Structure 1
């Protein structure tokens, strides 16, 4: 049975198939699986991803097993592996996991027989967020070829940045980063530009949240200083190309990475991303759970 653990696991055909299926759902195609059960194991806080999966399951007729680490046997020392084996044993057909450990899924692949969907692993990847971002970009431009995308913000701690940068380059986009020097990830093969360069040249500006919870210490910058140096200000938004768009995976730190009134400006697609997220996750669940369904993966 196939899983969705990393965007790197998907072939170009696999990415395109998910985006096509999601678009058909948005265009009104009705899907229902029924008589299936999904377990949502979220070990980190989530609003959009968790609720989006819940809505996707609801629209497909999939029953949900709720889980809270604070009120589960995690508090008694139960391992992630044993929790997943438990939901498998009691009859879950698929498990959707968010966990603070990078590549947590490596400990599960050998002996878990139901599909695993990675809903975010530490600073690793966020493949379903990436896919909804890709759909939003494709809806706008009808292609990824030569689209200039700048991912800006806390690159070092962002799983969204890693998944998107890899997938976008694979699909033919021109990807660059913008970040304070302390939050650059120099292990990734992408060029860095200033925010002023970014806004003038990009077709897509993808802002990232400053992930204070993953930092060892407090930032030396105030919110106002960060916004002025590295965020999207009114002046920078006005310098963007006429047809360029703004994305953000959220939650949004208003007044930090973006001035508050720009969150819903004409070029913002932030809430459209959220709407697309339900359809994308419906497409993923449908492909993994339907009889004979599968994801197109990269050949070994």
Structure 2
């Protein structure tokens, strides 16, 4: 496989995809979503390694389910139990697994930009399972797919993304994907959680304005990250920016509620709202598997 072909089959971010590539992946997601057979072994001669240098049980299980449904042989690698803890570089680890014969790598890591450098140096497709505060492309694709199942065409839709925009790769990937599909994105965040570099792409609005959207997407707040005083307390965040029962009651009846999960219940979203009729939080998780099947198929077929 030539390096150009490898790059085309990799998925490093939504920002680099054009509209037709995104819609193509969403079409294939719909195809896989509608298959009644759980196992379609089109990748039964392929070896895929899930290389998680940053922990995320939910994302890894979703990729593993997608890989196994396509019949692939799966190697799971977690940094906590690896030689990376002893000083081996991420690059050496990926090259080692490539040397052993894997056909593709699903990579999650903390430092932004490292994945792009890795992709230049290896000859297998790489799939971004989240890198720093840069991108989380498969999360955005499953979010887009969840919205299309509710609204059909996303053109003209207003989507509010509420929470810690500064540190959110989910917000960035959704911003790039939604705008390419013709939706309007707006952010809502405390002053010290705003990402100034994104202001030219999406306006910041008040929580009251944000709740008037077609889609209200709440972001997880890393409470441990803000122990230094960025937010006074979980209760204070909930009061100012949380989707409380009172706020949820004022949403338009067609508005849907989304969250990339895991949810801090009674912080970003009140417990009673998580599984209300307008919530798509658990369907989002279900949609993650066919999305990742489509991305893996693109990488290896």
TM above 0.5, yes or no, is yes
CA contact (8 A) 2:231 2:237 kept: no
- Partners in 1 of 2:223 and 2:21 — Cα distance? 34
Q: How far is the alpha carbon of 1:11 from its aligned partner?
A: 1.3
Give the TM-score of the pair, scaled to structure 2.
Answer: 0.93
Match for residue 11 of structure 1?
18
Deviations 1:27-74 (A, max 9, x none): 116532211111111111212211100100110001111212122111
From 169, 193, 203, the counterpart of 1:191? 203
Matched residue pairs, number? 289
Say which SS state the counterpart of residue 85 (structure 1) adopts.
helix
Find the partner of 1:51 among 31, 55, 61: 61
- Scaled by the length of structure 1, the TM-score of the pair is 0.93
The worse-fitting range, judged by mean Cα deviation, of 208-217 and 168-177 is: 208-217
Residue 282 of structure 1 pairs with residue 282 of structure 2:
no
The whole-number CA distance in structure 2 between the counterparts of 1:173 and 1:149 is: 7
State the partner residue of 1:119. 129
Residue 152 of structure 1 aligns with which residue? 162
Once residues 22 and 71 of structure 2 are traced to their aligned partners in structure 1, the CA distance between those partners, rounded to angstroms, is 24
Preserved CA contact (<8 Å) 1:157 1:214: no
CA RMSD of aligned residues (A): 1.3
Distance 1:213 1:93 in 2: 37
CA distance in 2, matches of 1:62, 1:27: 20
How is 1:250-269 mapped onto 2 (pairs within 5 angstroms)? Answer: 250-269=261-280
Which residue of the partner structure matches residue 220 of structure 2? 209
Counting only pairs closer than 5 Å after superposition, residues 65-76 of structure 1 correspond to structure 2 as: 65-76=75-86
Give 1:162 shift: 0.6
What residue ranges of structure 1 are gaps of 5+ in the alignment?
291-300
Instruction: Give the deviation of 1:216 after TM superposition.
Output: 7.7
Ranked by relative contact order (alpha carbons within 8 Å, sequence separation 6 or more), the top structure is 1
Shift in CA distance, 126/279, structure 1 to aligned 2, threshold 3 Å? same
Q: Which residue pairs with 1:297 in the alignment?
A: none
Task: Map 1:70-219; keep pairs closer than 5 Å.
Answer: 70-188=80-198, 189=200, 190-199=202-211, 201-215=212-226, 217-219=228-230
